[in-house]
Amino acid sequence: MEKFVFFGGKGGVGKTTVSCAYALKCAEAGLDTLVVSTDPAHSTADVFDQAFGDDPSAVDGHEGLWAMEVDPDEEVERHMREIRRRMNEQVSAAIVNEIDRQIELAHRTPGAYEAALFDRFVQVMREADDYDRVVFDTSPTGGTLRLLALPDFLGEWIERLVAKRTKSVDLFEKAAVGGREARRKLDEDPLIAHLQGRKEKFEFAGRTLREDAAFFVVLNPDELSIRETERAVAEVAEQDLGVEGFVVNRVTPAPDDDERGRGATWLRERVATERERIDEIDREFDEPVVAEVESRVREVKGDLLAAVADELAVDVDVASAEA
Amino acid sequence: MEKFVFFGGKGGVGKTTVSCAYALKCAEAGLDTLVVSTDPAHSTADVFDQAFGDDPSAVDGHEGLWAMEVDPDEEVERHMREIRRRMNEQVSAAIVNEIDRQIELAHRTPGAYEAALFDRFVQVMREADDYDRVVFDTSPTGGTLRLLALPDFLGEWIERLVAKRTKSVDLFEKAAVGGREARRKLDEDPLIAHLQGRKEKFEFAGRTLREDAAFFVVLNPDELSIRETERAVAEVAEQDLGVEGFVVNRVTPAPDDDERGRGATWLRERVATERERIDEIDREFDEPVVAEVESRVREVKGDLLAAVADELAVDVDVASAEA
């Protein structure tokens, strides 16, 4: 398995549960494992009955397991502050006010946080030297994955800007005495440096996601979930990334063979419908169903997590990345 | 009940099913009803086994019922084209290229579509004269609701701009002969007209949502769903909007009293857990649980929809809006 493991899928299918169970499995196999939760409902805290912050902290009672919770709102704040600071540095004072208003406007606009979140993911991946495995309880979605195309796009922009600026610096040099000063200015151009930084960041992200990351889709055995999965697989494929397989979560248990009554009938029919859906997944996708996890009567936490981890037939081996 | 009814709640709880069932109930009570679906998985089409587009069309076999599906991706395209067109009109040709790049960048940025979607909602509400009731299978979320604060924000911006421009026009008039020409230019200023239009649009939205809309939260009887609901209720309250009540969907049925076995045990424990959760909703929120809808063994469509509609104890009466 690759170092970075993402469990994607639509909301409510149980990504956090599956991620925590898998992280637990990895830790129990002796890997130093970090689970990164992004759920605004902070459910990693519920699963382990322990509060986590923006930096990794050890999970009580589980050796080799760390967890962190990324707060998307806070990431947006940070992002906006950074943009504002940079703008103030680079732009003539005259239009700073107008830009401040625009930033505020953008901040009120929904969705800024997906971008901020992706930035944070990249940072976590960059600083993950201490861990053998990092498990994310979500996967970048279509809009975010499209950010991986940014390096090409920014590259072009940077080239055009450099060409433009080189020209003006050349003119300046021809007119000026010495000229060394002007040339140095181009190297230090803060806008170009910033764009270059962004470009490198997204190049790193693209490279890491392609070479050292595995994507799983968590789904429930119902039609809607399968349809969403088609979209998720297509979006991931669009960026030359591959989905390793599917984790079918919340599979209804069958009653005993000799059970009769309203409950048993309901369960049997439900199990049959779900079996149809799982067969459909097998038929429609190239990627395998790697695990089926039974639906629990209560929320998965404490000892139940270990039981789920036992059912989660997802490989933890580090060496298989090279296979 | 108010004219505009929103069924919000987190992904996967069954908002589209509940919305379609409620719309069916309204139509059967004699109201001309439009159901607006925004689910990218296009599930209204599945529920009624019929394709719907961006304009309302009659639902086969159900008198008084219309449906439309808003495609968020298409809305974003339209939105971006419009911004580009307006920019091209208002901005000197010299920076149009740069702006085009910026727009493209923004387009690659995730989340633009929530804003575009909200724009479309407002348009639907504005053009809903033909219907007695309009049912939306989603509710604006926090980020989008914050857009309702835009009028104040834009008002301030417009005032500053008008003041600035009035001053320059005054200067121009003093210098020029006649001056009528210049004054007229201010009235026609396309940027100010645009901002004014946006302001009026969001004022309409805020007014309509406050006075003629009802918000319901659909949830499943589990902890995570309840926690999300706390957030959703708080977000709606933040904008002086009120949640009317909760629809608890996917409630597990109890087995017969005399059933014994693995299945019956599982069901009984599950029912007990869900009952705890529903009691928790009753205790923690001021708003009532208006309906409990039983979990089905198959996806809700065709005849099953009518069965769900029967269970959905949400008032359809138009007159009660004045009560």
Q: Read off the pLDDT of residues A169-193 as tens digits, 9 standing for 90 and up.
A: 677 666 665 545 555 555 566 666 7
d(CA B81, CA A43): 40
Q: Chain A interface, mutation test: which of B267, B294, B301, most A Cβ atoms within 10 Å?
A: B267
pLDDT at A287: 92
pLDDT at B311: 81
List all residues 6 or more positions away from B21 whose beta carbon is below 8 Å from its beta carbon: B293, B300, B305, B308, B309, B312
What distance in Å separates residue A290's CA from the closest CA in chain B? 22
Are the beta carbons of B263 and A273 separated by less than 8 Å?
Answer: no
How many CB atoms lie under 10 A from the CB of residue B14? Answer: 25
- Count interface pairs A-B at CB distance under 8 A: 166
Phi and psi angles of residue A217, each rounded to the nearest 5 degrees, phi first? -110, 125
Say whether pLDDT at A107 is over 50.
no
A80 Cβ under 8 Å from any chain B Cβ: no
Which among B224, B228, B253 is the nearest to A266, CB-wise?
B253
Terminal C-alpha separation, chain B: 9
d(CA B283, CA B280): 5
Which among B109, B224, B254 is the nearest to A41, CB-wise?
B224
| Nearest residue of chain B to residue A260 (CA atoms) | B259
pLDDT at A34: 97
pLDDT at B11: 75
How far is the CA of B8 from the CAs of A278, A279, B321, in angstroms?
29, 32, 20
Which among B262, B267, B273 is the nearest to A298, CB-wise?
B273
The answer to whether the beta carbons of residues A216 and A8 sit under 8 Å apart is: yes
Strands B57-58 vs B65-69: parallel, antiparallel or unpaired: antiparallel
Strand ranges for chain A from DSSP E: 4-8, 33-37, 57-58, 65-69, 133-136, 213-219, 243-251, 289-294
pLDDT at B306: 83
3-state secondary structure of B224: helix
Question: What is the residue extent of each domain of chain B?
Answer: 4-72+117-146+210-322
Q: Which residue has the higher pLDDT, B131 or A307?
A: B131
Q: What is the DSSP letter of B81?
A: H
User: Which residues of chain A neighbour B157 with C-beta distances below 8 Å?
Assistant: 101
pLDDT at B323: 37
Q: Read off the pLDDT of residues A239-253 as tens digits, 9 standing for 90 and up.
A: 778 789 999 999 999
Strands A57-58 vs B33-37: parallel, antiparallel or unpaired: unpaired
User: Which residues of chain A neighbour B225 with C-beta distances below 8 Å?
Assistant: 12
Which residue type sits at B161? L
d(CA B309, CA B296): 13
Q: Chain A interface, mutation test: which of B98, B99, B224, most A Cβ atoms within 10 Å?
A: B224
Are the beta carbons of B261 and A255 separated by less than 8 Å?
Answer: yes
B110 Cβ under 8 Å from any chain A Cβ: yes
CA-atom Rg of chain B in angstroms: 24
How far is the CA of B71 from the CAs of A169, B52, B55, in angstroms?
48, 10, 11
Q: Which of the listed ranges A80-84, A201-205, A280-284 does the model predict with the highest average pLDDT? A: A280-284
A263 Cβ under 8 Å from any chain B Cβ: yes
User: Which residues of chain B neighbour A12 with C-beta distances below 8 Å?
Assistant: 10-13, 220, 224-225
A178 Cβ under 8 Å from any chain B Cβ: no
List all residues 6 or more positions away from A303 whose beta carbon is below 8 Å from its beta carbon: none
pLDDT band at A321 (very low <50, low <70, confident <90, very high): very low
Nearest-10 crossing angle of helices B180-187, B150-175:
170
The mean pLDDT of chain A is: 79
User: Which residues of chain A neighbour B232 with C-beta distances below 8 Å?
Assistant: none
Are the beta carbons of A262 and B256 separated by less than 8 Å?
Answer: yes
User: Which residues of chain B neighbour A255 with C-beta distances below 8 Å?
Assistant: 261-264, 266
Q: Which fold has domain A4-78+106-322?
A: Rossmann fold (3.40.50)
d(CA A88, CA B283): 50
Name the nearest CA neighbour of A165 among A139, A146, A140, A192. Answer: A192
Six-digit token pair at B26? 């309204």
pLDDT at A176: 61
Which among B12, B110, B261 is the nearest to A259, CB-wise?
B261
Are the beta carbons of B259 and A262 separated by less than 8 Å?
Answer: yes
B147 Cβ under 8 Å from any chain A Cβ: yes
Six-digit token pair at B36? 């607006």
Which residue type sits at A300? V
Are the beta carbons of A143 and B222 separated by less than 8 Å?
Answer: no
Are the beta carbons of B109 and A101 separated by less than 8 Å?
Answer: no
The answer to whether the beta carbons of residues A32 and A130 sit under 8 Å apart is: yes
Say whether pLDDT at A72 is over 60.
yes
What distance in Å separates residue B11's CA from the closest CA in chain A? 5
Are the beta carbons of A259 and B259 separated by less than 8 Å?
Answer: yes
Tens-digit pLDDT profile for chain B (323 aa)?
899 999 988 777 889 889 999 999 999 999 999 999 987 665 788 889 898 988 999 999 999 999 999 876 676 677 667 666 665 555 455 455 555 555 444 444 444 556 677 778 888 999 999 999 999 998 776 656 666 666 666 666 667 767 776 776 677 666 665 545 555 555 566 666 766 777 788 889 889 988 999 999 999 998 878 888 888 888 788 777 878 999 999 999 999 999 999 999 999 999 999 999 999 999 999 999 999 999 988 877 777 788 888 888 778 787 544 43
Six-digit token pair at A229? 């999965």
How many CB atoms lie under 10 A from the CB of residue B320? Answer: 11
Are the beta carbons of B259 and A264 separated by less than 8 Å?
Answer: yes
Are the beta carbons of A261 and B266 separated by less than 8 Å?
Answer: no
d(CA B147, CA B122): 12
Q: Which fold has domain B4-72+117-146+210-322?
A: Rossmann fold (3.40.50)
User: Which residues of chain B neighbour A47 with C-beta distances below 8 Å?
Assistant: none
A136 beta partners:
A6, A36
Q: Read off the pLDDT of residues A185-241 as tens digits, 9 standing for 90 and up.
A: 555 666 667 667 777 888 898 889 889 999 999 999 988 788 888 888 887 887 778
3-state secondary structure of B34: strand
User: Which residues of chain B neighbour A43 with C-beta distances below 8 Å?
Assistant: 224
